[in-house]
Amino acid sequence: MTTPSQPPTGDSLVLSYLDLRKAIGIIGIALPIMLIVGKYIIEGPGTPGSISTYYHTDMRDVLVGSLCAIGVFLLSYRGYGREDNIAGDLACIFAVGVALFPASPDWPQVPTPSQETTGTVHYLFAAALFLTLAYFCLKLFRKGTGTPTPKKLVRNKLYTACGYTMLACIVLIGVTKLLPPDSPTMRIDPVFWLEAFAIWAFGISWFTKGEGIFGD
């Protein structure tokens, strides 16, 4: 006769939360790399104009699946209090929204009116997601109890850097939307790299929160 398993408590519960945070971080760090490498192997060299427009390549399922996985993990996240939980739930909604409402196809393709509408919704969800993730870095992740350890102080600096990196990327992506499609700047796919850096900042911050680096 088997004994029913007990819910995790104490150290095992802490470990499970750290593993959850690291899992979110690993997906974020790996996502741009998987998209670049996967498209290169399947379709050949070249990158779309943004991470979002990988939806219109053979890497669509990887993009959508990763965003949905991040959303589920964020929904499962529980922090120090109600504020953390609400932020996690909202980030889940925004991540799933980014996945379900694809970006418009790249120039020179001409998007249909419905694709333009869907693309607008996509970028609203994406902006809301990154703003929420920046809030995690700049406010929620920096919280703690008692006197912070030296490594906690290092982690706080890293959270701050990641949070401001995401905010800067959001602003710069907005600036690129003001440029003409045939601008020389657009030839280096600035939106793609800004989105990639924002996602990497998100992934690094959550991997750090799981004490994947600078752990006590």
In eight-state DSSP terms, residue 45 is: S
pTM to 2 decimal places: 0.85
Q: Which two tokens stand for residue 58?
A: 């053979």
Spatial neighbors of 161 by CB under 8 A, at least 6 apart, are: 201
Which amino acid makes up residue 41?
I
Measured CA to CA, the distance from residue 175 to residue 16 in angstroms comes to 40
Return per-residue pLDDT of the chain as tens, 216 residues. Answer: 433 333 344 455 455 778 888 999 999 999 999 999 999 999 888 888 889 889 988 999 999 999 999 999 999 887 778 898 999 999 999 999 999 998 888 766 777 888 889 989 999 999 999 999 999 999 999 987 778 889 999 999 999 999 999 999 999 998 988 888 778 888 888 889 999 999 999 999 999 999 899 887
Q: Which two tokens stand for residue 201?
A: 């900042």
